[in-house]
Each structure stands twice: as structure tokens, then as C-alpha cells.
Amino acid sequence: MKSLLKKIFHQKAETSVNNKLSLVSFHSDWNRLVEKWLSNKISLNKDENVWFYTQQLLASIDNGGLVSFYYNSGADNIEETLTALSQLEAYNIIEQIEQFNGLFPGIEKNNDLDRRNEIINSWGEMEVEIQNTIEEKIILMTDDIEDKLVQYIIKKQLSSI
């Protein structure tokens, strides 16, 4: 998990714009946050949770789409992710994620990785079309969410920058 999270950050760094403050600007602080989460995820405070779970979601979307958040372990923390997005007032993406959750009948909190993958593998044409529609909407929202997250990190003084 540690190497995946570091890889996610480095891939995001490759797409950053040099003249704009972005998540890449917080590289060292992100690494410390990941280390803290890996050692004891409940040790993160509310503001750190916002950063961690939002950036994890953004990285999943950037590296395979929203579906990758579900077929990998990201959706194991769906409640924490939705809470983080709510703190950012990112209601548009919350709405899309809740619609996406509807593609997983019988899973109340979507925290069963094996069951999620069984469901994804069973999707027919209709479910794939719904997935694609949601993915198209979400990809258009990611820059705005990243900007909100950067502003949150600055406002909450989560970085030494």
C-alpha cells in the first residue's frame, strides 16, 4: 500500500503545472501523512483525513477512473471519503459517487472488495453505460476538487509550505 500511495503522488507530480500551486507542492508533507496513516490510520485528525481520503480518490480517478477506486481498496473507506468531500463542499462529486454506489446492490457500505469485484465483473451493457456516464462527469470535476483540496491544505496549515 505504501508504494502504491507514493506512486500515486509521483504520477500526479508528472502532470502538475509548474506555475500553479498543486498537490505536488506538498510532496514531503504528503509522504509524512501517508506514513502516519500506514502506522495507525485512526491517528489522523479530521483535517488530515480530508487530505488523505480526497487525494486517494483523486489518484484513483487519475489512474484508471472512478471504477479503480472500487476494484482496488479505495472504496473500503467510502464513508471517510464522502465525509472528506463533504468538508470540501464537493457536493457535485459526492452526488456522482452516490450514483456509482447504486451499481453495487446489496452492499450497504461498499467495504467488501471481493464482492465489489464480483459485481463489477458481472456488469452488463446497461451498468457499463451508467459507469461511463458517471466517469465522464467525474473526470471534469477533478481539477476543481484538487483546487479545493489545495486551498483546504493551506487554510488548515497542513503543510510546511
- Mean pLDDT, range 122-151, rounded to an integer: 96
Residue at 25: amino acid letter: S
pLDDT at 151: 94
At residue 111, the pLDDT reads 77
Q: What are the DSSP calls for 113-140, one per residue?
A: HHHHHHHHHH--HHHHHHHHHHHHHHHT
* pLDDT tens digits along 91-107: 999 999 999 999 998 77
Q: Rounded to whole angstroms, how far apart are CA atoms 28 and 108? A: 36
Comparing 7-11, 80-84, 150-154, which segment has the lowest mean pLDDT? 7-11
Share of the chain above pLDDT 70, in %: 85
CA distance linking residue 11 with residue 61, whole number of Å: 12
Query: Taking 90 as the threshold, does the pLDDT of residue 33 lie above it?
Result: yes
For residue 160, give Cα distances in angstroms to 56, 125, 128, 151. 20, 48, 43, 14
Residue 61: pLDDT band with limits 50, 70, 90:
very high
pTM: 0.84
Domain boundary assignment for the chain: 45-155
Indicate if the pLDDT at residue 136 is higher than 50: yes
Helix axes 91-101, 125-139, angle to 10 degrees: 170
Q: Quick one: how far is CA 139 from the chain centroid?
A: 12
Question: How far is 16 from 57, CA to CA, in rounded Å?
Answer: 17
Q: Can you read off the three cell numbers belonging to residue 144? A: 476543481
The per-residue pLDDT for 25 is 79
Separation CA 4–CA 60 (nearest Å): 10
